[in-house]
């Protein structure tokens, strides 16, 4: 599928430092990092965390160059519910959930929901190849080349200790939901998006 036109594996220790934090199953995740030389990712446990509006942290400020050759950041998402997916091309769970993300994108982007990926390791050519193969039409911030600035911005708010991780931001740019690891299916993400949209309607 043609993408819409808009204007080597890092060492496990480096990746672990970039994605620090504690959550349920943290010890298991840390062990996976130590044993990740053969697969190159921490799969996470698929756990979902939802944060009530009154308990959310400050809006996350981030920005970076995308695989579209444009700059995308938090200024572009204010006022919109936004899905942020952390991924890279060699991550098997990332490949497995790509279709679920695109199903949600096709359903909710006409309603104004924004989608952005955060590629944690690849060069642009790898990201473009992934997008072509899996039909991904939304942009991804190339965070490896950006010094992992976007990962650090989100890690200060919500621990990111697995790739993939999917976040849903509310209209103020605050983290409302997190799925640590591969999405169960498109319906899981649909539910989280609908819950966040309902807050805006209320």
- 23-63: pLDDT as tens digits: 333 344 334 333 333 334 444 566 889 999 999 999 999 99
Largest CA distance in the chain: 48
Enumerate the β-bridge partners of residue 85.
Answer: 117, 166
Is 3 within a domain? no
What is each CA distance from 3 to 6, 9, 137, 139, in whole angstroms? Answer: 9, 25, 5, 9
CA 81 to chain CA centroid, Å, is 14
**For 167-184, what is each residue's pLDDT tens digit?**
999 999 999 999 999 999
Is 60 within a domain? yes
| Domain at 124, CATH number | 3.40.30.10
**Regions of the chain where pLDDT drops below 70:** 1-46, 159-161, 202
Domain that holds residue 111: 12-201
Closest by CA to 109, choosing from 76, 130, 73, 83, is: 83
Report d(CA 17, CA 144) in Å as an integer: 13
Note the pLDDT of residue 156.
Answer: 75
Is 4 within a domain? no
Is 20 within a domain? yes
Is 142 within a domain? yes
Is 18 within a domain? yes
Note the pLDDT of residue 146.
Answer: 77
Note the pLDDT of residue 102.
Answer: 98
Is 1 within a domain? no
Helices (H), the chain: 12-18, 26-34, 92-108, 124-134, 149-155, 186-201
Total domains, the chain: 1
Is 190 within a domain? yes
- Under 8 Å between Cβ of 182 and 164: yes
Tokens matching residue 116: 């952005």
């Amino acid at each position: 599928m043609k993408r819409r036109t808009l204007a080597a594996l890092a060492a496990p220790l480096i990746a672990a430092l970039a994605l620090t934090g504690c959550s349920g199953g943290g010890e298991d995740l840390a062990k996976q990092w130590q044993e990740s030389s053969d697969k190159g990712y921490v799969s996470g446990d698929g756990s979902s965390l939802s944060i009530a509006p009154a308990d959310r942290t400050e809006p996350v400020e981030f920005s970076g160059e995308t695989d579209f050759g444009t700059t995308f950041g938090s200024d572009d998402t204010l006022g919109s519910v936004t899905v942020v997916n952390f991924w890279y091309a060699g991550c098997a769970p990332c490949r497995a959930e790509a279709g679920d993300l695109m199903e949600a994108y096709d359903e909710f982007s006409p309603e104004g929901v924004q989608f952005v990926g955060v590629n944690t390791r690849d060069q642009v050519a790898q990201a473009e190849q992934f997008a072509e193969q899996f039909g991904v039409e939304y942009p991804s911030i190339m965070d490896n080349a950006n010094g992992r600035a976007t990962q650090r911005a989100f890690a200060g708010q919500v621990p990111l200790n697995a790739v993939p991780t999917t976040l849903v931001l509310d209209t103020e740019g605050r983290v409302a939901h997190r799925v640590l690891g591969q999405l169960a299916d498109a319906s899981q993400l649909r539910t989280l998006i609908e819950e966040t949209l309902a807050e805006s309607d209320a």
